[in-house]
Amino acid sequence: MSQSFAHRLLCWYDQHGRKALPWHEDRNAYRVWISEIMLQQTQVATVIPYYEAFMARFPNVEALAQADTDEVLQHWSGLGYYARARNLHKAAQQVVAEHSGQFPQDQAKLEALPGIGRSTAAAILAQAWNIRASILDGNVKRVLARYHTVAGWPGQTAVLNQLWAYAEQHTPSERVRDYTQAIMDLGAMVCTRSRPDCEHCPLHGDCQAFRHNTATLYPAPKHRKTLPEKQTWMLLIEDANGHLLMERRPPSGIWGGLWSLPELDPAYGADELEEACQRHFGLRCDAPEHLPGFRHTFSHYHLDIQPVRLSLTGYTHVQEHQERVWHHPTTALTLGLPAPVRKLLSAPLQPELL
């Protein structure tokens, strides 16, 4: 059965698969690796312009290793999940320092690099060197869970182990590079999350979910708890030159290492913001203007952001230091910024765009 699974998939791929994505050109481990990391949690169409800009600036692992973290984050700005960018940078430095700039052709050594898990390591081996290795990303989990009607949420170890066993069973020993792309493409183009096109699927002859008309029940979703809600005041503090105070976030945690706007605890009332600015930032401000609030959702909570514009009238002590800098909004937009801050800086005078 497993050879026939791979064979059918490869025949389908030859006719319908994606063969001209930017990371298919000049294919090497570095280019495959960057694409794999960008594609985690992000759709191909979104990734393409980021990938091309990233490659233009960091064409090889040495260029990435030598870059400033800020610049790497800036090229990631908008893709979210910024730990991916920080790990990417660390891993590039490790490849240069410990492997003379050559990615190791070895699953365990690849997995030892920051941010590279079992599936990503396998994708690099298969796609860069055509070495037999099995991937199990979100698309592949969905195809296999349906084809074999694997019950349960893939985040559970037993379910995941079962899916890995099927992934390995089906991986052929030849044309592994094409097979890897084929199974990802099938998941993205045919066996989609909500509307699988089973009629045109090369696997429908013996797909268990198709047979029982239960495709959309697999894989089982995680039991979602209601996400907690948090609030914050986000301040656009403007000096007489129209410059805004920007702060760099601590290196770990939410938006780690990115530049953001100063925030205040939601426990402060709307009429206490000027006093809080003095206390926390040493700034005298007035004329608070409340912009429309909006919600940003992280994987584990909702953040209700209440933006407020304030005018700087004076200082109570010296302000600027390495992690807190006044920037013109145009310059600020060139920094590595979280998506909601970018949105605020791009449309501060057009609140209806928020």
**Residue 282 Rama label (left phi>0; alpha psi -120 to 50; beta):** left
Q: Does 245 bind ligand SF4 (CB under 6 A)?
A: no
Beta strands 229-238 and 302-315, pairing class: parallel
**Number of residues in the chain:** 354
CB of residue 187 to ligand SF4, shortest distance in Å: 8
Return phi, psi of residue 108, to 5°.
-65, -40
**47, 312 contact by CB (below 8 A):** no
Tokens linked to 56: 């233009």
CB of residue 198 to ligand SF4, shortest distance in Å: 3
Q: Rank residues 64 and 190 by Cβ distance to ligand SF4 and give the closer one.
A: 190
Q: Does 203 bind ligand SF4 (CB under 6 A)?
A: yes
d(CA 261, CA 80): 17
CB of residue 5 to ligand SF4, shortest distance in Å: 10
Q: Does 198 bind ligand SF4 (CB under 6 A)?
A: yes
CB of residue 144 to ligand SF4, shortest distance in Å: 9
Residues 6 or more apart in contact with residue 70 via CB below 8 angstroms: 257, 335, 336
Near ligand SF4 in 175-194, by CB under 6 A: 190-191
Residue with tokens 């501060």: 348
Residues 6 or more apart in contact with residue 43 via CB below 8 angstroms: none
CA 53, 56, 58, 62: dihedral to nearest 10 degrees? 160
Q: Rank residues 200 and 295 by Cβ distance to ligand SF4 and give the closer one.
A: 200
Q: Rank residues 208 and 278 by Cβ distance to ligand SF4 and give the closer one.
A: 208
Residue type, 14: D
Q: Does 165 bind ligand SF4 (CB under 6 A)?
A: no
Q: Does 196 bind ligand SF4 (CB under 6 A)?
A: yes
Q: How many residues belong to the site for ligand SF4 (CB under 6 A)?
A: 14
Of 163, 201, 261, 332, the residue at the interface with ligand SF4 (CB under 6 A) is 201
Of 89, 146, 177, 249, the residue at the interface with ligand SF4 (CB under 6 A) is 146
CB of residue 122 to ligand SF4, shortest distance in Å: 20
What 8-state DSSP symbol labels residue 269? -
**201, 192 contact by CB (below 8 A):** no
The one catalytic residue in 25, 36, 62, 199 is 36
**108, 97 contact by CB (below 8 A):** no
Applying CB under 6 A, the span of 38-46, 165-173, 208-216, 224-232 interacting with ligand SF4 comes to 208-216
Applying CB under 6 A, the span of 110-118, 175-183, 198-206, 261-269 interacting with ligand SF4 comes to 198-206
Residue type, 60: N
d(CA 118, CA 107): 8
CB of residue 190 to ligand SF4, shortest distance in Å: 5
Of 215, 246, 305, 345, the residue at the interface with ligand SF4 (CB under 6 A) is 215
Applying CB under 6 A, the span of 29-37, 68-76, 88-96, 195-203 interacting with ligand SF4 comes to 195-203
Q: Does 92 bind ligand SF4 (CB under 6 A)?
A: no
Residue with tokens 């600020």: 332
Buried b / exposed e over 262-271, threshold 16 CB at 10 Å, is bbbeeeeeee
352 annotated active-site: no
CB of residue 8 to ligand SF4, shortest distance in Å: 10
Near ligand SF4 in 125-144, by CB under 6 A: 143
Chain residues binding ligand SF4 by CB under 6 A are 143, 146-147, 190-191, 196, 198, 201, 203-204, 207, 209-210, 215
Q: Supply the residues annotated as catalytic.
A: 36
